[in-house]
Structure formats: structure tokens, C-alpha cells
Chains A and B, each alone.
Chain A
Amino acid sequence: MENVINVEHLAYTYPGVDDTPGIDVFEDLNFTIEEGTFVAILGSNGCGKSTLAKHFNSILLPCGGKVMVWGMDTAQEDKLIPVRRTVGMVFQNPDNQIVANVVEEDVAFGPENLGIASPVIRQRVDAALNQVGMYEYRLHAPHLLSGGQKQRVAIAGVIAMEPKCIVLDEPTAMLDPQGRREVMQTITRLKNDKNITVILITHHMDEAAQADRVVVLDKGIVALDGSPQMVFSQVEKLHEMGLSAPETVELCRTLNEQGFCLPLDRLDDKDCAQALVEALKA
């Protein structure tokens, strides 16, 4: 697989106001993302997850180093629109990213900005709404939808632009469990059906467990990086960084402290139950 997103020696400092010094978020961050993977980015508050997300489509520009997206340097001004066309972004609060007061008009907003012909926009809007399972709500007013539905509309608005990559910045943080499930199902379906590269920034370990790869940021550097099993089995390290592992792993670890010898890479409920059964039988 090709590396489509390259973060090379990224440095970023939030500018200080007046005389106060700025805040250094990254000094030398390096990592790459392969095409078509589902990457979850974890980290405690203030570790720079959202700041990093905003670098993928030129909302923030690096103070040092560079971010390459499908061979385009995000800092190059003439590449701004191509970069944003390639990398779509979904934010935390669904209310603050829906522009129009009819669902289908909102989904059409991105393609309209790209100057696409009207019949093509219609097709893309219908396809995008079908993808997220919101087609029957196309004529609704957004403020009457539930949080999960709003967030799916926001995702449809991004995929109607046909990006190669979607960055989701804590898309489930403001949703109830039902809405979270809807959004996560939509994300995995997108990744499987359309081979879109997905970057999910999240606080929920069980969501990160569904990814192909988990990257843990701590103090501006990549602290852990690998498959969910590999990352989450390092429970002690996660705890040091103020994070936790998924509940199944935490359970196994607590039991291990009591003298059991359970594996720490069981992220699924069923797998965990299986391991418990085997341990009890032994």
C-alpha cells in the first residue's frame, strides 16, 4: 500500500496573545498513513489530536516541517482547494457544521462550492445520503433530527465531495450511545465500501478498537503505534498517559493482578468471554 499522508518533522506553535508566549504543540512529529486504512488517533486532552487533524486539510499550516497529502504540500497556496477536496473533515458538534435548513441542500453545499454541474450534484447528493442511510430524511429540517442523524448528514456532506480521505474529529463526543453506534457503523461501511482512508480522532477506546491501526499521541510525539491489539495490550503505558484500554482489556488486566493469566489483546466482548471461559476451565 502506498503512503498517502506523510507528516514530516511537523512543528506547530499556537501563537501567543500580545506578550504571552505561544504554546508548542508539536516540535518534531513524524508518521505516515497508508491508503485505505482506518486509523484511530488517541491521546489525552491537550496532546494535539485536533491540532494534528487540522493540518491534514490546511486549516492550520505547519510552523516547521511539512504535511504531504497525496503528494500535495498542504502549505502550498494553489493546492488549497485540491487538498480540501481530497481530505474531508467532520467536526465534533454537528449543529455547527450544517449550513442549510434542508438536509439535501446541506449535502449539496460542498459539491456546489466545487462548481459541479447540477445533474451531477443531484446524483452525488442522493448517493451520499443513501451511503449514510439518511435518504428518506432528505427534505427534513436539520434541527429536527437526532444528534446521530445530524452527524450522519454532516458525513454525507463530506462524502458528496468524493474525498479520498475523511478526518473525523471526535464525531461521537456529543452523541448518545445510539447515535455513537450509528456513526461508527457509517464510518466502517464507508471504509469497506468505498475504500476511503479514515482518520478517526476519538476519546472512546472501544471506537479505536474497531480501527486497523491505532496511533497514540503524547506530549507532541507518537507514543504508541500499531494494531489495536498491540497498542491496547500495553495497558500500563496507556495509564501513564492518562488513557485507558477498552473495558475488556481492563477487565483481563485486573483479573491478572489477582493471579489469573489472561491475554490482554481481546478487544471484542465475545473473544474476552471466550478467554475467560478457557481460563476458568484450566
Chain B
Amino acid sequence: MLKDITLGQYFPGVSVAHRLDPRTKLIILIGYIVALFSAKSWISYGVSFAFLASAIAVSGIPVKSIVRGMKPLVMILVFTGLLNLFFTGGETVLLSFWKVTITLEGLRRAIFMVLRILMLISGTFLLTYTTSPISLTDGLESLLSPLKKIHLPVHELSMMMCIALRFIPTLIEETDKIMSAQKARGANFETGKLLDRVKALVPILVPLFISAFRRADELATAMECRCYQGGDGRTKMKLLRLCRNDYFALLLTAALIAVVILLAGFSL
């Protein structure tokens, strides 16, 4: 049952979006988020949406899988929409019954809010769909490397992320095994009150933690054997290199931000 969890929603592919440098993609995402939060009008939302739509088109990721990813967020979207709809004050009252009033401003704000969240999440999905976890950590490490100057352990952090990603499937497999072993000895995880079920998890967590520590110890020895001495003096097999596509994409993002901010300046 635990094996069904999909990790890292990476869709392997060779599209332009897949081949972009991970750093470019991270910067584009940040730029796109800035643009979304600066957008105040239908036109600027339209421009941002066009940007997102062309990015999705270029990536070749089916729209269906992005929509499917939204499902768990429906409740949040509905709540955000309703809260904004009912609790935004304004002059133009559209509807008024009992104690509730819906204003034109409220309606507008609710729609914008929901749109913003939807577009924000689609953008983030696009990043994780087109970038493998390992190149994402590589990109992060490279982007954050200036922070090494202030002694932030950037390499160590990305190494930790990499190892964590590596061991998630291994630990899930292990959890499965331990659960089967405990079930074979009569443990019951499926029925009973919530508190009982939480308590039933203890016999899974204890062996899991012990084995995780043992693994960590062995892994550390194995890494030492392979001459690991931290990030200093370390080279990489795959070098990150920006090419023409990357510059073009970054330019487009800059243009998007400029347009949206300009539009906001003209209060459009």
C-alpha cells in the first residue's frame, strides 16, 4: 500500500522546458510568482496566464495531469474564494440577504485570489514535472552558492536533500516490511479508535528509526571510503551551463515582470 505513493513528480522528457538549466527554471518560477503577486487587473492576469500557457505548451506536459494535481487543493480554493467573497467590503452591493452582502469588489477579489493560487500552483507543478529532483538540488546548490561566503553550509544542505531523496523509497520498503512483520505477530493497524491506531504505530516507528540510524552509520562509512570530505575541492560530473534557450527564457520572464508592473503603474 505504501508503494503507491509517488515521489518526485518528475515526468521524464526531452522538451525545451526539460532541457532548460534548473537554475533558469528556478529563477523563472520566482519571477513568475513576483509577476503574479504584482498583477492587479484582468489584463495583467491575462498576460501572466499567457506566459503560463505557453510554458505548459512548450513542456509537453498534458494539462490533464496538472489538473489532477489540483484535486487535493479544491477545499482550500473554495474556502479562499468564499472568504474573499463574503468578507470584502465595498460600495457596489450586488446581493444582500440575511447578514451577508456580496459586493462587486468582493467578487472581483475572490476570482483574482482563486486564479492567483491556481496559477501559482500550476507554475510550481511545471517546475517539478520537468526537473528531476537531482538536478533541482544541483540548481539550488549552485544558486545558493554565494551564501557560502557567510558560512551557510550550502553543499551540505544539498547533499542532505539528495540523500533524503535517495532513501525515501528504501525506507518506505522497510516500513512495509516492518508492518508485515508486526501484522504477522497480530498487530492491528486498521481498526480501533484514532488513539489506538496512533499507538499501534509505535511498534513500527521504533524499529524503523533504529534501522535508519544504522543505515546512516553504514552510509557515512561508505562515503568516507569513497574519499568524501565535504564540499571543498569537489568537482561535478555534470556541469550546469546556461545556453541560448536559457537566456531567452530569462529575458521573457523579465519582460513579463516589466509588463505586469507597468500595467499596475497605470492602475490597469
* Chain A interface residues toward B at CB < 8 A: 57, 59, 81, 84-85, 88-89, 91, 93, 95-102, 104-105, 108-118, 121-122, 125, 141-143, 157-158, 161
Contacts and interface: CB of A to CB of B under 8 A. Distances in A.
B35 to A, nearest CB: 33
Contacts of A59: 221, 224-225
Contacts of A108: 237
The interface centre, meaning the residue of A99, A104, A111, A161 with most chain B CB atoms within 10 A of its CB, is: A99
A93 B218 contact: yes
A123 B227 CA distance: 19
A99 to B, nearest CB: 6
B139 to A, nearest CB: 14
Nearest to B224: A59
A101 B165 contact: yes
Given A97-B219, A99-B162, A143-B169, A110 B237 contact: no
B166 A117 contact: no
B218 A118 contact: no
Contacts of A142: 166
A84 B223 CA distance: 11
B223 A99 contact: yes
Interface string B208-232: 0000000100110111111111000
Given A143-B173, A157-B226, 7 more contacts: A81-B227, A104-B237, A111-B235, A111-B237, A115-B233, A115-B234, A121-B236
The interface centre, meaning the residue of B221, B235, B236 with most chain A CB atoms within 10 A of its CB, is: B235
Interface residues of B, number: 29
B26 to A, nearest CB: 19
A121 B170 contact: no
Interface of B: 132-134, 162-163, 165-166, 169-170, 173, 215, 218-219, 221-229, 233-239
- Rank and list the top 5 A-B pairs by shortest CB-CB distance, nearest first: A97-B222, A108-B237, A96-B218, A110-B226, A143-B169
B235 A91 contact: no
Contact of A113 (B132, B165, B226): B226
A84 B134 contact: no
Nearest to A109: B226
Nearest to B223: A99
A77 to B, nearest CB: 13
Contacts of B166: 98-101, 142-143
Contacts of A91: 218, 221-222
Given A96-B222, A105-B134, A118 B170 contact: no
A6 B188 CA distance: 56
A110 B236 CA distance: 10
Contacts of B221: 59, 91
Contacts of A104: 237
B14 to A, nearest CB: 13
A127 B90 CA distance: 70
The interface centre, meaning the residue of A96, A109, A117 with most chain B CB atoms within 10 A of its CB, is: A96
Contacts of A114: 227
B235 A89 contact: no
B227 A95 contact: no
B239 A118 contact: yes
B159 to A, nearest CB: 8
Contact of B235 (A81, A84, A121): A121
Contact of A112 (B165, B215, B234): B234
A100 B222 CA distance: 13
B237 A125 contact: yes
A101 B134 contact: yes
A118 B238 contact: yes
B170 A143 contact: yes
A105 B165 contact: no
Contact of A100 (B162, B169, B218, B225): B162
Contacts of B173: 143
A57 B225 contact: yes
Contact of B133 (A101, A111, A115): A101
A113 B170 contact: no
